[in-house]
Amino acid sequence: MKFMIVGKASPETEAGALPSQELVDNMQAYNESLAKAGVLLAAEGLYPSSHGAQIAYSGGKASVIDGPFAEAKELIAGFWLIQVKSREEAIEWALRLPVPPGHDGIGLDVWQVFDASDLPDDSMTPEARKREEALRDRLGVDPAS
């Protein structure tokens, strides 16, 4: 099962402040422990929302809204994509994440990743399943993951 651990933004991350060397070291150690356990698929930090955009749809048309966005606590500062055996294991890993001092109220979300392999075999046409498998092959994704 794949899970995404989503790190929420803070006023500091939205301002573009770089983390302390201690936090960088702690995050590197955390990421190394995920990798050593064989569960880490990806981990990245994100630029502040001032570097981003949102796409909003209304009446079938898309409009682009440039950042920055108002509520830092609703924004994402980074993520980890992990592959584990259960939701409980994903939460255990999330609870190990180092939290910088003074960041009370800033939290994490843990979301299970849904993909085509989660669908029952009869829910996709054979052609659609074949296209999905071909895409996974091109991306080097194991269908059993």
Tens digit of each residue's pLDDT (9 = 90 or more) over 8-41: 888 888 899 988 899 899 999 999 999 999 999 9
Q: Tell how far CA 83 is from the center of its chain.
A: 12
Position 91 scores a pLDDT of 97
* 34-69 per-position pLDDT tens digit: 999 999 999 999 999 999 999 999 999 999 999 998
Contact 106, 35 (CB under 8 A): no
Clarify whether residues 69 and 102 are in a common domain. Answer: yes
Clarify whether residues 102 and 138 are in a common domain. Answer: no
Clarify whether residues 60 and 103 are in a common domain. Answer: yes
Clarify whether residues 123 and 60 are in a common domain. Answer: no
Q: What is the count of structural domains for the chain? A: 2
Strands (E), 46-129: 53-58, 61-66, 76-83, 108-112
Position 99 scores a pLDDT of 78
Mean pLDDT value across the chain = 87
User: Is 59 exposed, middle or buried (CB count within 10 Å of its CB: 0-12, 13-18, 19+)?
Assistant: exposed
- The C-alpha atoms of residue 71 and residue 68 are separated, in whole angstroms, by 9
Clarify whether residues 75 and 126 are in a common domain. Answer: no
Position 103 scores a pLDDT of 64
Clarify whether residues 101 and 121 are in a common domain. Answer: no
Clarify whether residues 24 and 93 are in a common domain. Answer: yes
Clarify whether residues 91 and 145 are in a common domain. Answer: no
- Please tell me what DSSP assigns to residue 31: H
Clarify whether residues 87 and 106 are in a common domain. Answer: yes
Q: Could you tell me the CATH number of the domain that includes residue 31?
A: 3.30.70.1060
Clarify whether residues 40 and 66 are in a common domain. Answer: yes
Clarify whether residues 98 and 136 are in a common domain. Answer: no
Position 143 scores a pLDDT of 56
- Would the pLDDT of 112 be above 80? yes
Position 127 scores a pLDDT of 85
Q: Which residue has the tokens 């029952």?
A: 120
Clarify whether residues 52 and 103 are in a common domain. Answer: yes
Q: What residue numbers bound the domain in which 25 lies?
A: 2-113
Amino acid identity of residue 7, one-letter, is G
